[in-house]
């Protein structure tokens, strides 16, 4: 389930991305032009590789949800 929360959905001008939380750990992935890790805190490389695959498989869905939430196009940069 994708849920854009107020805590993370602050700036639609920042390149399209998604935050993933697990307990107190967090990772941020850029979604365009290709999925890649932006930053991570306290996640193992095994967890990050698995998350990368999940984000890659859901890239189009994430982009659609971004567009619906912000009313903009999920693109490389809005600036």
User: pLDDT tens track of the chain, all 79 residues?
Assistant: 455 554 455 566 678 889 888 888 999 999 999 999 999 999 999 999 999 999 999 999 999 888 888 887 887 654 3
Strands in 25-30's sheet, in edge-to-edge order, are 17-22, 25-30, 36-41
What is the rounded distance in angstroms from the CA atom of residue 55 to the CA atom of residue 57? 5
Q: What is the pLDDT of residue 79?
A: 38
Beta strands at 17-22 and 25-30: parallel, antiparallel or unpaired:
antiparallel
CA neighbor of 2 nearest in space, from 60, 49, 50, 53: 60
Q: What is the pLDDT of residue 6?
A: 47
Is 0.75 topped by the overall pTM?
yes
């Amino acid at each position: 389930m994708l849920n854009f929360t107020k805590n993370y959905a602050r700036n639609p001008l920042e390149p399209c991305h998604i935050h993933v939380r697990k307990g107190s750990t967090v990772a941020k992935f850029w979604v365009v032009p290709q999925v890649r890790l932006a930053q991570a805190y306290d996640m193992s490389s095994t967890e990050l590789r698995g998350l990368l695959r999940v984000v890659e498989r859901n890239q189009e869905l994430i982009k659609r949800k971004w567009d619906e939430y912000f009313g903009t196009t999920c693109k490389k940069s809005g600036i």
